[in-house]
Chain A
């Protein structure tokens, strides 16, 4: 089975530009999680969905960040406008059991905002 798929794998953009990160969860998994990882703060949960509905978005840093899950096989994380401090690796993860259980991570998107 295919794992979690993320695109793009690398993104370099200029400050002020819009960035859209994409994720396809493992088929049959109805929980989807977006994380951000930096050296300073480690791995932080931004938002998670269950059955395409956002359950907890308390980790979303500010209004510049938004996430959607229009169907069971696709989610996006959008940053508009982007800032240099948004530079990080963004991971998507999924599972079928819930937020308290082991999760399967995608390869991540390495975002650099200059």
Chain B
């Protein structure tokens, strides 16, 4: 079983839509969680860290549910520039990051 699993999509949404991605992780000892964004043929870049209490950065909201071992990312008022692949990341303290395969988002006008 893959340690971090995501729905690969693609999610095709119109501009202005709200879209949510979920991700599950298998290691209950995981302590650090992130969302990375990867544009086509580019490197992954940190979008935001995910904190236990949930956190928001502009149009982006990340949530962590430890009991169910899932992480979510909500994007409000989608823009064309949000089109990318979103990678969910979890780890266990002291060990390296484990990346999901990513969820592809396509925002159209």
Q: How many residue pairs at the A-B interface have CB separations less than 8 Å?
A: 48
Q: How far is the CA of A91 from the CA of B42 in the complex (A)?
A: 10
Question: Is chain B's interface secondary structure helix, strand, loop, or mixed overall?
Answer: strand
B43's contact among A33, A41, A56, A107, by CB below 8 Å, is which? Answer: A107
Contacts A101-B32, A105-B44 given: A42-B100 contact, CB under 8 Å? Answer: yes
The A62-102 residues at the B interface (CB cut-off 8 A) are 91, 98-102
Contacts A42-B101, A42-B102, A43-B87 given: A100-B96 contact, CB under 8 Å? Answer: yes
B12 at interface (Cβ–Cβ under 8 A)?
no
Q: Which residues of B contact A103 (CB under 8 A)?
A: 46, 97
Tally of contact residues, A, Cβ under 8 A = 19
* Cross-chain contact B43 with A100 (CB below 8 angstroms): no
Q: Which residues of B contact A43 (CB under 8 A)?
A: 44, 87, 99, 101
* Cross-chain contact A102 with B91 (CB below 8 angstroms): no
Q: Which residues of B contact A108 (CB under 8 A)?
A: 42-43
Q: Which residues of B contact A56 (CB under 8 A)?
A: 95-96
B45 at interface (Cβ–Cβ under 8 A)?
yes
B95's contact among A33, A91, A99, by CB below 8 Å, is which? Answer: A99
Mark contacts of B40-65 with chain A using CB atoms, 8 A cut-off: 1 yes-contact digit, 0 otherwise.
00111110010000000000000000
* Cross-chain contact B96 with A48 (CB below 8 angstroms): yes
Q: Which residues of A contact B42 (CB under 8 A)?
A: 107-108
* Cross-chain contact A91 with B43 (CB below 8 angstroms): yes
* Cross-chain contact B95 with A100 (CB below 8 angstroms): yes
Q: Which residues of A contact B98 (CB under 8 A)?
A: 45
The B63-91 residues at the A interface (CB cut-off 8 A) are 87, 91
Q: Give me the interface of A with B, judged by CB distance under 8 Å.
A: 33, 41-43, 45, 48, 56, 91, 98-108
